[in-house]
Amino acid sequence: MDTPLLIAGLGNPGSQYARNRHNAGFIVLDELHAHHKFGPWKAKFDGLLSEGSLAGRKTYLLKPQTFMNLSGDSVGPALRFFKLPLEALVVVHDEIDLAAGKLKVKTGGGDAGQNGLRSITATLGPDYRRVRLGIGHPGDKDRVSGHVLQNFGEGEIAWLKPLVGAMVEAAPLLAKDDDKGFMSKVALLLQPPKPDKQEPKKKDTD
């Protein structure tokens, strides 16, 4: 495709936030960056920007350094600078309204209380693609802030690592605008391996 792709991963800057549930977008982009051999991170657009390609399509990775609530202040200028249409933007973010470990991709819609999305939508409008990584809801809206700003627990790392790995492997399908194919491949990669069928042992008749 001639039109480049911009993938923005949402999170908060600083080592104290690095393993937070709210930083799922940063975690995915760091793995994408390493696995697909993107260029070095450079400070641009109030964020960290890297260039590379996915499935032969020029792709920019962006990690806004504005803090979550002002993500649009980084994503908006980047999209405008590269003169990209809104459909060339993919935002990777944590989603409390999805069960932990679930993944969904959709275009447009509301922000479901995700302040990074709210900021981007206020800047650019809602019609961009969202890769939603479920972190589960704490059950009480008053506990949401504490929930998203806590680190992923050891039990969560058990599903997070394979999920992020599958997302990274399937990412070229996002560059082909094949969101359903992306979700299907992630699901396939996460299936447990089937046990080898062993021949039934023959009984000794001696």
Q: Does residue 28 contact residue 167 with C-beta atoms inside 8 Å?
A: yes
Angle between helices 154-175 and 24-35 (to 10 degrees): 60
In the chain, the amino acid numbered 169 is E
For residue 137, indicate whether it is catalytic. no
Helix, coil or strand: residue 156: helix
The strands making up 5-9's β-sheet, listed across from edge to edge, are: 42-44, 47-54, 57-64, 5-9, 89-95, 129-134, 103-107
- What single DSSP character describes residue 190? T
Give Cα separations from 37 to 30, 64, 87, 192 (angstroms): 11, 20, 24, 28
> In terms of DSSP bridges, do strands 57-64 and 42-44 run parallel, antiparallel, or are they unpaired?
unpaired
Give the residue numbers annotated as catalytic, written as ranges.
Answer: 22
